[in-house]
Amino acid sequence: MELFSDKPALAAAALTRLAAADLESGGKPPGRMQVFLGDLVMRNGPDILERVAIELARQHLASLEELAVATGRPTARYLDQIELAAAMDEEPDGGKSGLGIPPDFGEG
């Protein structure tokens, strides 16, 4: 039986909510995302992770596009900043946001 959260789009949204909850709680209790993904794989097989990853990327891009429209800046600029921070394996804001968001993300 497929659960409501087994649909890739809903699983991706649930995973994002878990990430937000982990950030708010300072990472305690740890491992909620891992437990969620483990349960998802147990019910649906490992292929579900690929589908969830694709859906996460789509949802992330949609959020960046909304930000770009709201700020009048191109989506590509935000993607470039995220990619650069990831390539440097650091959070340019010193980890304050916990999200890997550059400090000048919405500036300039």
pLDDT at site 105: 55
8-state DSSP, 31: T
Q: CB of 25 within 8 A of CB of 65?
A: no
pLDDT at site 22: 83
pLDDT at site 103: 52
**pLDDT one-digit tens code per residue, 50-86:** 999 999 999 999 999 999 999 999 999 999 998 998 8
How would residue 21 be classed by pLDDT, with cut points 50, 70 and 90?
A: confident
How would residue 94 be classed by pLDDT, with cut points 50, 70 and 90?
A: low
The residue that leads in pLDDT, 26 or 10, is 10
